[in-house]
Structure 1
Amino acid sequence: MIKHSSFPILEFDTDEEAKLNPIHFVREKFKTDQMIITFFPEVIDRLISEKVILLERTIGGENPVYVYHFAEDASTLITLGQVGCPACAGNLDLFHAMGINKVIFCGGGGVLDKDIAVGELLVVDGAIRDEGFSYHYIEASRYIYTDRVVKEKIVRYLKDHDIPHIQGLTWTTDAIFRETRDRIELRKREGAKIVEMEQAGCIAVAQFRGFSYGAIIYGGDDVSQEEWSNRSWRSRNGIRYDLVMLCKELVKRI
């Protein structure tokens, strides 16, 4: 049943069945239920070249998705995420229909606090929903939160292994070129520590479908100052590789 509104994005439909569902695209389910979604293409390339991962499946379409498994541990899959909620979270919904029930996301985002160093890890508590995708899965709200139990398992592992990290909200936006000064300041006051483009949607899919999802995002470029600073965040190859391998351990524990 649709709840009518003056604004189409707020017309939430409680009907769980759509005309087109992810299961319609599933020919064969995965043999495992755990997956890492990363946004680090150079790490994927390195893992392929070193034969650490092997191609599990190609999901066809206009933009094919390549899913790999670890050579010595086929129980863990890994894929390169696509930018934005419709692509990344839409694929996540499909992965779940293909049998995935445990997911760890790892990527980078723009820091909203200059004191968050490049490479500092943020365990995602939730997201400010400044996008459109999540509103089709979960009724309108300003915030959406990750599963508390999953988050606590991630944090416990990091603490047990003395891995420095912080916790907090992200700000999920559709519009990378509309991160204005006033909007940045507002999101900072609301508690967001990092801006990115996928978390609200991914969390919404996990809530709607009922599976385990956690995310770690590392501090990248800086949007908190008068001038944007790249901080060479995409060249931190060691941090990015280590984060993927950390997620390989985490996904088994959620």
Structure 2
Amino acid sequence: MLHRNDFPIVEYDDAAKAKINPESFKPGCFETDKMIITFFPEVMKKLIEKNKISLERVIPGENPVEIYKFNDESNVLITLGQVGCPACAGNLDLFQEMGVKKVMFCGGGGVLDRNIEVGQLLLVEGAIRDEGFSYHYLPPARVVYTDEDTTNRIAEYLDKENISYLRGLTWTTDAIFRETEDKIELRKSEGGKIVEMEQAGCIAVARFRGFEYGALIYGGDDLSGEEWSDRSWRSRDGIRYDLVNLCKKLVYII
């Protein structure tokens, strides 16, 4: 049923089927249900060079998506995420049709609090929905939350392994060049710790389709001061490689 509104973006339709559905593409199924989505291309390159992963499948299209699989016995898939909810979360919806039911996401984002150091991990508990994609999967709300049991299982593992992390919300936005000072302060007051561009959509797809999803985002550039600071966050190769390997373990726990 379509719920009409003065603003199209909040006209949520709770119909289970759309005109075009993931199964419409007849994508075929993977032999495993576990996947890592990462935003670290240099880690993917290193894994390929070390013969740690092999190309499993290419999903064709105007922007083909390459899916790799670890060469060990872990039976875990890995793919490089695409920027923004329509691309990243849209692909995630297709992946779940292909049999993926356990997903760990790892990426980086801009911190809203300068006390969050470069490399500090945020276990995502939810996302402030300042984008458009998630409103097509769930009714309007300011925040979409991850599944609490799934998030707690991740936290229990991190605690057991003495891995330092924060828990909290991200701020998902479509517009990297419209992160204004007033918006940053508002999102901070709402509990946002990191700004990124995918979590609200990915969480919404997982809740709508009913599969396990967890996300770890590490602190990157700093938006909390008077001037933006890059903090050389993309050069933290060790952090990024270790985070992918951590997610490889966590995807079995969620």
TM-score normalised per structure 2: 0.99
The amino acid across from 2:64 in the alignment is P
CA distance in 1, matches of 2:37, 2:146: 16
Q: Equivalent residue for 1:13?
A: 13
Q: Please report how far the alpha carbon of residue 125 of structure 1 lies from its aligned counterpart in structure 2 after TM superposition.
A: 0.5
Q: Equivalent residue for 1:143?
A: 143
| 1:149-183 Cα shifts (integer Å, max 9, x gaps) | 11011000000000000100000000000000000
Q: Equivalent residue for 1:82?
A: 82
What are the equivalent positions in structure 2 for 1:170-249 lying under 5 Å apart? Answer: 170-249=170-249
The amino acid across from 1:103 in the alignment is V
The amino acid across from 1:100 in the alignment is V
Q: Equivalent residue for 1:30?
A: 30
CA distance in 2, matches of 1:72, 1:85: 31
| 1:33-83 Cα shifts (integer Å, max 9, x gaps) | 000000000000000011000000000100010000000135100000000
RMSD: 0.6
Rate the CA distance shift 1:74–1:60 in 2: closer, same or farther, 3 A: farther
Aligned length: 254
CA distance in 2, matches of 1:137, 1:27: 21
CA distance in 2, matches of 1:170, 1:29: 31
TM-score normalised per structure 1: 0.99
SS across alignment from 1:213: strand
CA distance in 1, matches of 2:2, 2:27: 31
SS across alignment from 1:171: strand
Q: Equivalent residue for 1:50?
A: 50
| 1:99-156 Cα shifts (integer Å, max 9, x gaps) | 0000000000000000000000000010000000000000000011000011011000
CA distance in 1, matches of 2:222, 2:65: 30
CA distance in 2, matches of 1:206, 1:218: 21
CA distance in 1, matches of 2:12, 2:247: 34
1:108 corresponds to 2:112: no
SS across alignment from 2:149: helix
CA distance in 2, matches of 1:196, 1:11: 24
| 1:193-252 Cα shifts (integer Å, max 9, x gaps) | 000000000000000000000000000000110000000000000000000000000001
CA distance in 2, matches of 1:56, 1:114: 40
Rate the CA distance shift 1:143–1:114 in 2: closer, same or farther, 3 A: same
CA distance in 2, matches of 1:223, 1:64: 33
Q: Please report how far the alpha carbon of residue 27 of structure 1 lies from its aligned counterpart in structure 2 after TM superposition.
A: 3.5
Q: Equivalent residue for 1:98?
A: 98
The amino acid across from 1:19 in the alignment is K
The amino acid across from 1:13 in the alignment is D
CA distance in 2, matches of 1:51, 1:26: 30
The amino acid across from 2:88 in the alignment is C
Q: Please report how far the alpha carbon of residue 6 of structure 1 lies from its aligned counterpart in structure 2 after TM superposition.
A: 0.4
Overall identity of the aligned pairs, in %: 66
SS across alignment from 2:159: helix
CA distance in 2, matches of 1:74, 1:190: 39
SS across alignment from 1:6: coil
Runs of 4+ residues deviating >4 angstroms: none
